[in-house]
Amino acid sequence: MKKNENFGEWYNEIVDTAELSDKRYPIKGMNVWTPYGWKIMMMIDSFTRRELNATGHDEVNFPLLIPETEFKKEKDHIKGFDSEVYWVTKAGDNELDVPLVVRPTSETAMYPMFSLWIRSHQDLPLKIFQIVNTFRYETKQTRSFIRVREIHFFESHTCHATEEEAQCQIEEDIVMLKKISKELCLPYFLLTRTDWDKFPGAHYTVGIDTVMPNGRTLQIGSIHHYRTNFSIPYDITYEDLDGEHKHVHQTTYGMSERLLGAVVGVHGDDSGLILPPPIAPFQIVVIPIISKKEPELVLDVCKMVTDILTKDGMRVKLDDRNMRPGAKYYDWEMRGVPLRLEIGARDIENKLISFARRDTGEKGTIDLSTLTASVDLLLNDISFTLYSRALNVQESMVTDITDMSEAPAETDETKDDVILRFGWCGSEKCGHTFEETTGYKILGTPYGADPVKCECVVCKAQSIKQAYAAHTM
Amino acid sequence: MKKNENFGEWYNEIVDTAELSDKRYPIKGMNVWTPYGWKIMMMIDSFTRRELNATGHDEVNFPLLIPETEFKKEKDHIKGFDSEVYWVTKAGDNELDVPLVVRPTSETAMYPMFSLWIRSHQDLPLKIFQIVNTFRYETKQTRSFIRVREIHFFESHTCHATEEEAQCQIEEDIVMLKKISKELCLPYFLLTRTDWDKFPGAHYTVGIDTVMPNGRTLQIGSIHHYRTNFSIPYDITYEDLDGEHKHVHQTTYGMSERLLGAVVGVHGDDSGLILPPPIAPFQIVVIPIISKKEPELVLDVCKMVTDILTKDGMRVKLDDRNMRPGAKYYDWEMRGVPLRLEIGARDIENKLISFARRDTGEKGTIDLSTLTASVDLLLNDISFTLYSRALNVQESMVTDITDMSEAPAETDETKDDVILRFGWCGSEKCGHTFEETTGYKILGTPYGADPVKCECVVCKAQSIKQAYAAHTM
């Protein structure tokens, strides 16, 4: 299957053949995380955990089920989720008096507790997170990691004394995002969503969008400023230094298993998955090239190399199966192992190891005497190359337009879409006109970007804001 | 609150004041894992993961929801769980055609997939596990970690070619259990459950029971041999070397957050929690004893000691809050930190550090020049002492009886129960008579124990099997 011929089919095939997930579970859109996919997801989670812990967020685990009475306290929020939640209505043989929602996100589970936990300014900021699965009754066509009904994600929730402190939290979230996405070699757009597309209940929402190679964007996460929109209905107040009771300002930040979907789609090629070294369960595969000449020595050196690299903190697999090397190459390429080392009798004579990079296919040799340093350099360069390549693709997708008539028509699965960038006066009226006329969805305006002199693509009024629009995955 | 006056109340108070969990969540028995409790649970999970990975089990993550149609395939199993499962019957505004069970355990989620995954003898053994939350509609009085409605647990599931290989798996499970429970300093009984008390659908069940200080037993986990009881209804077959299709033999092993409940109950004392060093989020707290004499030097040495121990792989907290030391001692004792180091100006002059052990209250000094080695020895000795003490308590609870009339009456919350050991002919009739007459529950017969010549406590027939009975938590 060719990636550039039919991205959608290519994606599904990669997920299957690399054994990331099994979608034959008897509920559509609820897939089984098989060992290889789950290992990668846990690696991604470990970076999330690292960043959140380093910034003083405490990990917690809240109940999955939320009483309808709590769920319905914030009106916009419930309107946004009502059509896509699962309801537990029965336990054993009993109908429940109060139906329970299966968590679609945890605001309404957490905030009643926050109202008990926060008493004074000394309890602020409150910064917590959890890594759990969440549930949405998805009615559109499902796709592994990208649109599923049980979603693995993290959600951080914070409470602050003032709107400004909450704003600082959002800046901190963006720094964490930068660090996490760097490990995944994923570039992204950071776009303040339009008012009609923000998270239900949010003051504003920043969407984190990555671009798939077919030119469609994939929202991999989001950051929200809630102001006091939730703290008022959930009665989360603190006593400030003057003894006055005030509502807290809140933020949330979350990213989902779509991160893995993005890794598959952005980096993979016609030979399979390509994993960024930081999240690869095996970063290096060592393959003995056994010939009649000194087969035992070859295997011994392979074991030694595996041991050395493992001791130096790398994740290494020695593939000593009794198969021809070509079949092994095929296997590990499919599974996206970033670096392959091949060791044969002649290499050993020359004190060399042959390598093949998964990202570029480049082959070469490294000196046994500089093994760890050379492998480390190669892995870093693989990360760098994957990121640069993805960034180039992302940038090449962006098309500037000055009139709606320039927007290309939506393509079918076999052709690539583009991302539109254009001036926008910011009015909801022009926004809706744009979306209805072109069929593109406005993703928003770059978060924290410098002003750009431009003209609204609809009403032609002068503006200083550019917007992005795309077809989404 | 005194532990030996009212164990139940003492337990609840410890869980609250050490901030392990918050039970004020608006659904009874679904509690919030607060940061400190969740950290300890994640430590316990890390040992589970270590042992399961080391024995070739792959970690997976299966969907939470199970279609009723799959859930009802094994008749005994569904009979065992029917009255205690939560049902999702609605999604958005739609009634679901097939109601979904919220996982009470994952046999019925996993086995339809196993039937797809296993084709030939080369696919065996299949060994997987997951660490997830599970749900039981508990109607009895709930208690944090011990009887809750959302339960954090791990479950491993294996498939084998033969009954004997499945039996070997159970031996491997028992070795893992030994290693995990050693980290928690928990002794336990390993008892083959009676036929009328085995897991619904199991061929046989081995219960893992620990003894709480009030003389009641707590089942912290179990191991099951399923034979082909599930592989027949779920059609899990493999083709053997002769081309014959055969049903696989299955086992499962699981332990829950009750492990943490046992740690709280078994090790704690009137001053609070006592954590075994391997699972303590902070193993050591360093407290500066600031006086007028060289306060800065004291703080510097405290920081240095904290750094050294941290670099040597220990989890250390420097408590430099502006409070009197006594208040700090109280705090960290409540939270169960195994070892406290105190450093004042005079200690520094003498090149000594004062310590206080949480398990025995013993105080002493260690030489600065042997810091890491001394602390390491102390932590190991704390583990050893906790285990030995718990084992003594467990053994002291066991009372041998030769006639049912010797069984003491059940006590109220303020007095301690005992565990009965007695001869049993093994018949269901005598078993039921015993349970009805004495009010004790038969836990089973020691797994893998040598035969003991004895007489059935009911029918007086000669036997070679002893049974244990107790009141359970």
Pairing outcome for strands B126-135 and B94-102: unpaired
Record: contact A35-B22, CB cut-off 8 A: no
Count, in order, helices (H) and strands (E) of chain B: 12, 25
- The CA-atom distances, in angstroms, between A5 and each of A269, A360, A442 are 12, 20, 26
Residues of A in contact with B60 (CB under 8 A): 32-35, 38
What is the residue type of B323? M
Question: Do the chains contact at A65 and B42, CB–CB below 8 Å?
Answer: no
Q: Coil, strand or helix: which one is B321? A: coil
In the three-class reduction of DSSP (H, G, I as helix; E, B as strand; rest coil), residue B172 is classed as helix
CATH for the stretch B401-470: 3.30.110.30
| Distance of alpha carbon B238 from alpha carbon A181, whole angstroms | 43
Long-range contacts, stretch B347-355, CB < 8 angstroms, 24+ apart: B347/B289, B348/B294, B348/B297, B348/B298, B348/B301, B353/B305
Could you tell me if A65 lies within 8 Å of chain B, comparing CB atoms?
A: yes
A289–chain B nearest CA distance, Å: 25
Q: Which of A90, A171, A101, A165 is nearest to A136 (CA)?
A: A101
Which one of 3.30.70.920, 3.30.230.70, 3.40.50.800, 3.40.50.300 gives the CATH number of domain B277-394? 3.40.50.800
Residue type, A335: R
Residue extents of the structural domains in chain B: 7-267, 277-394, 401-470
Q: What phi, psi does B354 have (nearest 5°)? A: -85, 145
DSSP secondary structure string for all residues of A443-471: EEEETTPPP--EE-TTT--EES-EEEEE-
User: CA nearest B295: which of B241, B345, B357?
Assistant: B345
CB contact under 8 A, B133 and A89: no
Q: Which CATH class is domain A277-385?
A: alpha beta
Say whether domain B7-267 belongs to CATH 3.30.930.10.
Answer: yes
pLDDT in tens, B430-472: 999 999 999 999 999 999 999 999 999 999 999 999 999 999 9
Q: Closest partner residue to A33 among B61, B93, B116, by Cβ? A: B61
Q: Which tens digits make up the pLDDT trace of B25-47?
A: 999 999 999 999 999 999 999 99
Smallest CA–CA distance from B95 into chain A, residue: A87
Please give the pLDDT value at position A74: 81
Q: How confident is the model at residue B413 (pLDDT cuts 50, 70, 90)?
A: low
Closest approach of chain B CAs to the CA of A333, in angstroms?
A: 21
Sequential pLDDT tens for chain A (473 residues): 789 889 999 999 999 999 999 999 999 999 999 999 999 999 999 999 999 999 999 999 999 999 999 999 888 878 888 889 999 999 999 999 999 999 999 999 999 999 999 999 999 999 999 999 999 999 899 999 999 999 999 999 999 999 999 999 999 999 999 999 999 999 999 999 999 999 989 999 999 999 999 999 999 999 999 999 999 999 999 999 999 999 999 999 999 999 999 999 999 999 999 999 999 999 999 999 998 888 899 999 999 999 999 999 999 999 999 999 999 999 999 999 999 999 999 999 999 999 999 999 999 999 999 999 999 999 999 999 999 999 999 999 999 999 999 999 877 766 789 999 999 999 999 999 999 999 999 999 999 999 999 999 999 999 999 999 999 99
CA distance A216 to A11: 13
Predicted TM-score (pTM) of the model is 0.97
B102-141: pLDDT as tens digits: 999 999 999 999 999 999 999 999 999 999 999 999 989 9
A90, B89: Cβ pair inside 8 Å? Answer: yes
The average confidence (pLDDT) of chain B is 96
Question: Is A59 near chain B, with CB under 8 Å?
Answer: yes
Task: Taking the CA atoms of A375, A377, A383 and A389 in sequence, report the sign of the dihedral they define.
Answer: negative
Work out the percent of chain B whose per-residue pLDDT is above 70.
100
Query: Is domain A398-470 annotated with CATH 3.30.110.30?
Result: yes
Q: State in Å, rounded, how far the first CA of chain B is from the last one.
A: 19
Beta-ladder partners of A223: A206, A253
Q: Tell me if chain A has a CB within 8 Å of the CB of B157.
A: no
Q: Between the CA of residue B240 and those of A127, B158, B244, B248, B405, what are the distances in Å?
A: 55, 17, 5, 10, 55
Residues 6+ apart with CB under 8 A from B436: none
